[in-house]
Amino acid sequence: MAGWIFVVSLVLALVAVYRPFGDYMYRVVTGTRSSVAERGIYRLVGVNPAAEQTWGVYARSVLAFSAVSVLFLYLLLRVQDKLWLSLGLPAVTDHIAWNTAVSFVTNTNWQAYSGESTMGHLAQMAGLAVQNFVSAGIGIAVAVALIRGFAARRSGTLGNFWVDLTRITLRILLPVCALAALILMVGGVVQNLSGGTDVTTLTGATQHLTGGPVASQEAVKLLGTNGGGFYNTNSAHPFENPTTWTNWFQIFLIFLIPFSLPRVFGRMVGQNRQGYAIVAVMGILAIASVALTVGFEVHGGGTVPQAVGAAMEGKDVRFGVPDSAAFAAATTLTSTGAVNSFHDSFTPFGGMMPIVNMMLGEVAPGGVGSGLYGLLILAVITVFVAGLMVGRTPEYLGKKIGAREMKLASLYFLVTPTLVLAGTAAAFATGNNSTALNVGPHGLSEVLYAFTSAANNNGSAFGGITVNTPWWDTALGLAMLLGRFLPIVLVLALAGSLARQRATPESEGTLPTHQPLFVGMVVGVTVVLVALTFLPALALGPIAEGLS
């Protein structure tokens, strides 16, 4: 019962902030006045904030910034042993450094390393946490660029990437993170530069208590739907998530931006009800998924949970089963991938839900920005399918969905399934699935989970699979890179194509896209597309295990 109240209280809190926080973000991304700090940054970077970019220039700016970021982070990790606050840890090995650099730049935060034994404090703060901010900023910027495409009237331009990145980072991410970090510190999350303390336990053993600037990184890890934990056990670690209420707060932070961005969408296209329709789709899928995950986990299944009497393996006592399951759903419905319990030890169907959530393409509500643009692509596909049914030219928000738009939307949808299924097949074909801890259907689930997580930029791990080998680091790194930037380029191309169109006035044949019928259709299209794509793979993995 308490578990259900937990979920309901989160829903209520998100409903309460939807309008005020969404309106605030709207003012940030549409504002034109620069602060002193922003003008300073524009001058240092050497950009003209008034210059509008076409989709090609916008995309090249995103790619250039990300390429520089990968390189910078890779170098930082490779030389960390020579820098301040390295805690005596050695340089990160080449394949782990490559994997980690890609992982954090793509907002995936897949971790092929254990934080407390690999990363010094400087690498965490100035390397990883910076990418937590800017990769989240890029996601929001791309989503805003797509909305500008819908809202534009033959201008053909999408705004300025450097301005978007700066404003989103400075005015949304940084202040909310600072406040959230402070709240987490009150809860007991540590924030220091200590290399750790040796203590003598009550029974005379020695325990090395770790330190670190955890709260500052924890806040952005969740708010930016990044998910890379400071420590190996992520949000299960008591220094990252010490209490039952910090656990609630962490889930709230995960959902805050993704669930509020539809408000920005509604306001930018001039019809708030369009935002409500989009957030309704997200909400329906999210609530269904959370309810299923919590229900499966609480009601057991699988031999070991039945022997134990509860699915408590890989869960901490203070969170218990329902709140751990709710966190697992939240982290995979978004692109976060932080964990407060270990999905590998979930009941068979409970453990299937995180995979299904990620396979949904992370649109309910998805990662910051990426969830919104992913769902808008699905809305475009839905409009097209509906148009075919009634035989009219499909339109969405006054823009015609023609052959070019549909090609881009379809390609977008195909990117991640291709990466997931081809990657899983490649792992088995090359024998690299042998690093999985479990055999049989569960072994397949572990491999499938790894590629699903990487290609969808989630970063959560089923665990139970050794991924710090050169093959896995390289393969998953490629999956993350392509799974992030191919869709971004396609979204921006779509945005550019829409921005060049003039608005078509509504006619009687226009499908209203703010009514329950349309909401239901988008939900249906999402579920059907995902089911058709992934059901065979799921049947061989978690479903086979759950039914055996």
Partner 1 sequence: MRLPSWLSQHLAALRALLVLTILLGLAYPLLLVAVGRIPGLSDKANGSLVAHGSVLIGQAFTDADGNPVPRYFQSRPSAAGDGYDPTATSASNLGPNSVVDTLADNPDDASQSLLTQVCARSLAVGTLEGVSGARPFCTADGVGAVLAVFHRDGFTGPITRVVSVNQTGTPFVATYDGVTVEPATIGDDYQALGGIITPIRGDAPSHPAVPADAVTASASGLDPHISPAYAALQVPRIARERGLSQDAVRKLVHDNTTDRALGFLGEPAVNVLKLNLALDGLAPNGPAANGPAANGLAPNGLAPNGLTADGPAANGLTADGLTAGGQK
> Looking at 23-31, 174-182, 268-276, 425-433, which segment touches partner 1 (CB under 8 A)?
174-182
Q: Which is nearer to partner 1, 47 or 411 (CB)?
A: 47
Q: Which is nearer to partner 1, 244 or 469 (CB)?
A: 244
In a 10 Å sphere around its CB, with 0-12 CB exposed, 13-18 middle and 19+ buried, how is residue 285 labelled?
buried
Determine contact, residues 484/106, Cβ cutoff 8 Å: yes
Residues 507-526: x/- map of binding to partner 1 (CB under 8 A)?
--------------------
Work out which of 6, 74, 252, 449 binds partner 1, going by CB under 8 A. Answer: 6
| Cis? peptide before 49, omega within 30° of 0 | no
Q: DSSP readout, 62-90?
A: HHHHHHHHHHHHHHHHHTGGGSTT-TTPP
| Spatial separation of the C-alpha atoms in residues 494 and 483, rounded to whole Å | 17
DSSP code, position 501: S
Contacts made by residues 24-28, CB under 8 angstroms, sequence distance 24+? 24/172, 25/140, 25/172, 25/257, 25/260, 25/261, 25/263, 25/264, 26/263, 26/264, 26/267, 26/268, 28/167, 28/168, 28/171, 28/172
Q: Which is nearer to partner 1, 195 or 402 (CB)?
A: 195
Residues 203-222: x/- map of binding to partner 1 (CB under 8 A)?
xxx-xxxxx-x-xxx-----
329-358 residues in contact with partner 1 (CB under 8 A) are 339-342, 344-348, 351
Determine contact, residues 25/459, Cβ cutoff 8 Å: no
Residue 192 CB, nearest approach to partner 1 (Å): 5
360-399 residues in contact with partner 1 (CB under 8 A) are none
Residue 377 CB, nearest approach to partner 1 (Å): 26
Residue 485 CB, nearest approach to partner 1 (Å): 14
> Strands 399-400 and 395-396: what pairing?
antiparallel
Residues 440-479: x/- map of binding to partner 1 (CB under 8 A)?
x-x-------------------xxx---------------
Per rule CB under 8 A, count of chain residues that contact partner 1 = 119
425 binds partner 1 per the rule CB under 8 A:
no
262-321 residues in contact with partner 1 (CB under 8 A) are 301-320
Residue with tokens 């700066």: 166
The SS3 assignment for 94 reads helix
Q: Tell how many helices (H) and how many strands (E) occur in the chain.
A: 21, 4
434 binds partner 1 per the rule CB under 8 A:
no
Q: Which is nearer to partner 1, 174 or 543 (CB)?
A: 174
> Looking at 20-28, 233-241, 471-479, 525-533, which segment touches partner 1 (CB under 8 A)?
233-241
Work out which of 86, 106, 169, 334 binds partner 1, going by CB under 8 A. Answer: 169
Work out which of 58, 59, 61, 370 binds partner 1, going by CB under 8 A. Answer: 61
402 binds partner 1 per the rule CB under 8 A:
no
| Spatial separation of the C-alpha atoms in residues 69 and 75, rounded to whole Å | 10
Give every CB contact of residue 514 below 8 A, 6+ residues apart in sequence.
271, 273, 274, 276, 277
| Spatial separation of the C-alpha atoms in residues 476 and 455, rounded to whole Å | 8
Work out which of 51, 388, 389, 437 binds partner 1, going by CB under 8 A. Answer: 437
Determine contact, residues 189/242, Cβ cutoff 8 Å: yes
DSSP code, position 93: P
Q: Which is nearer to partner 1, 75 or 535 (CB)?
A: 75
64-103 residues in contact with partner 1 (CB under 8 A) are 64-65, 67-69, 72
Work out which of 25, 41, 77, 454 binds partner 1, going by CB under 8 A. Answer: 41
Q: Which is nearer to partner 1, 134 or 521 (CB)?
A: 134
In 3D space, the residue among 222, 233, 211 whose CA is nearest the CA of residue 179 turns out to be: 222
110-149 residues in contact with partner 1 (CB under 8 A) are 114, 116-117, 125-127, 129-130, 133-134
> Looking at 190-198, 259-267, 329-337, 508-516, which segment touches partner 1 (CB under 8 A)?
190-198
Q: Which is nearer to partner 1, 241 or 260 (CB)?
A: 241
> Looking at 166-174, 384-392, 490-498, 501-509, which segment touches partner 1 (CB under 8 A)?
166-174
Q: Which is nearer to partner 1, 306 or 430 (CB)?
A: 306
Determine contact, residues 172/257, Cβ cutoff 8 Å: yes
> Looking at 41-49, 375-383, 502-510, 527-535, which segment touches partner 1 (CB under 8 A)?
41-49
Q: Which is nearer to partner 1, 181 or 401 (CB)?
A: 181
CA distances (Å), 407 to each of 55, 196, 512, 526, 530, in order? 17, 54, 23, 17, 18
Work out which of 51, 75, 178, 547 binds partner 1, going by CB under 8 A. Answer: 178
> How big is the chain, counted in residues?
548
> Looking at 191-199, 256-264, 398-406, 518-526, which segment touches partner 1 (CB under 8 A)?
191-199
Side-chain half-sphere CA neighbours of 464 within 13 A: 19
Give every CB contact of residue 441 below 8 A, 6+ residues apart in sequence.
540, 541, 542, 544, 545, 548
